[in-house]
Amino acid sequence: MLLGVSVGTVQQWVGKGLLKAWKTAGGHRRVLRESVDSLLRHGPQALIATAPVAQQLPVTPRRLRVLVVEDEPALLRLYQVKMSHWPMQPEVRTSVDGFEALLRMSECWPDLLIVDLQIPHINGFAMLKILSETPEMARATIVVVTGLDGEAIKERGGVPPRVEVLPKPIPFDRLLAIAAGIVQHSSFQIGVP
């Protein structure tokens, strides 16, 4: 396929209105070529720009929202297990690639974004560049957890200045401290759904 993503991802994009499509009498989706061309022409930024804006939450306490972008299933599961024991009981969402992560963010902007730089479809470098130009992410804390060293990161263009870079193996103590700092300086409450 031209977009280089799974059928399931395309179905999600159609369901969210990011791609225009129709159904045949047999129930099969047919995506309009113009819609695909538009997405290819405008690049990944179009995923955010055309996505419906997440509903404004009422000004009431809520849980910390965390989005983890990591392509290794075992590491994603480890994140989920470890974070389930954090005292602030964050709402954790996960994504295995940059396209999917951008879609999830447009549904519900995270307070804490944890990104591996070596992810498929849109790598972490490109994703961070897109997000640095996205006003909705201005208040989010972004952390990179990577196996790349500083020199390799610099050779690939680096990361935005406000992004903290942490090495693998995953430093959960530091991530917990970052999350606790966000909660301390915001209106989040422990255990509030």
pTM metric for this prediction? 0.70
* Strand bridging mode 141-146 / 91-95: unpaired
Query: What are the mean pLDDT values of the chain's consecutive 10-residue runs (193 residues total)?
Result: 62 68 66 69 57 48 91 96 95 92 85 96 91 87 96 95 95 96 75 48
Secondary structure in 3-state letters for 73-118: HHHHHHHHHHHCCCCCCCEEEEECCHHHHHHHHHHCCCCEEEECCC
Give me the CATH code for the 65-184 domain, please. 3.40.50.2300
Tell me what pLDDT residue 46 has: 57
Domain ranges of the chain: 7-42, 65-184
Tell me what pLDDT residue 107 has: 78
Residues 77 and 74: their CA atoms lie apart, in Å, by: 5
Residues 176 and 15: their CA atoms lie apart, in Å, by: 35
- Token digits for 169? 């193996």
Q: Answer for the pair 116, 146: CB distance below 8 angstroms, yes or no.
A: yes
